[in-house]
Amino acid sequence: MESKVSFKFDSERARMLQLFLSNKVIERDCFNYPPRIICGVDASYKGNLAVGAAVTLTFPSMNVIEEAVVTCNVSFPYIAGFFAFRELQPILKAIRSLSSTPDVILVDGHGRAHPRKFGLACHLGLVLNVPSIGVAKRKLCGDVILDKPLRDNVFPVILNGELVGAMIKSHGKQLFVSVGHKISLETAIDIVLHCIKSHYIPMPIMMAHEACRRRLTSISI
């Protein structure tokens, strides 16, 4: 008879790990600007299956180089603030399936703009030792300061008195950008603004999202 393994998430251990790893995040540019190759990543789910996608593009011309899409089982539930523990596996598998090596990765999730300053973009950047940027559609924490813009339509996000990210107004929508790893917030904003084209979501992430959606439509469970 097969025995079932029960899953129990230890939120305190995960919280302490995030706090420990957050001290290892580098918030300065550790690459030559402009980057040559950028990558957008995303993950989607159907039942217990996860689909991860990674799309690389040339920068600044934004021509697609390649796309990698993978499918794997996932057992970790969605828990606010611990997104990386669910998303990392499919995203890492997709990135490692690429033949091109990105200089910077744009992540559909938060970086420093996280309660413990260690969102998905930080976790991914640290694991891969690659510059990464968090790009999220919703604010997770902190306050947006509308009367002190960083530049046109870009506003600081402050958490406990510290600048942890920026809110970009584009196409009538809000987008939250923060440092993941090995990049400055100023450069992260520059790259994201350049990647916003006909949609408020940056082109690399949008393309990764569409790649996930196409794979999901082909899966029957």
State residue 221's pLDDT score: 60
Q: Which residue has the higher pLDDT, 151 or 12?
A: 151
Largest distance between two CA atoms of the chain: 64
First to last CA, the chain: 25
pLDDT at 57: 98
Q: What pLDDT sits at residue 6?
A: 44
CA 68/CA 128 separation, integer angstroms: 17
At residue 162, the pLDDT reads 97
Count of all residues that appear for the chain in the document: 221
Whether the upstream peptide bond of residue 34 has omega within 30° of 0, thus cis, is yes
- Between helices 120-128 and 84-95, what is the axis angle to 10°? 40
pLDDT digits (tens, 9 = 90+) for 85-113: 888 999 999 999 999 999 999 999 999 99
Percent over 90 (pLDDT), the chain: 83
8 A C-beta contact, residue 64 and residue 57: yes
Domain locations along the chain: 30-217
DSSP 83: T
Q: What CATH architecture is 30-217?
A: 2-Layer Sandwich (3.30)
Instruction: List Cα–Cα distances, 216 to 71, 134, 213, in angstroms.
Output: 9, 24, 5
pTM, 2 dp: 0.93
Nearest C-alpha neighbor of 155 from the set 27, 142, 182: 142
Confidence of residue 2 (pLDDT cuts 50, 70, 90): very low
Which contiguous run of DSSP H or E holds residue 73?
strand 64-73
Cβ–Cβ under 8 Å, residues 131 and 103:
yes
Q: Tell me what the mean pLDDT of segment 128-138 comes to.
A: 97
Quote the CA–CA distance of 128 and 108 in Å, as a whole number. Answer: 16
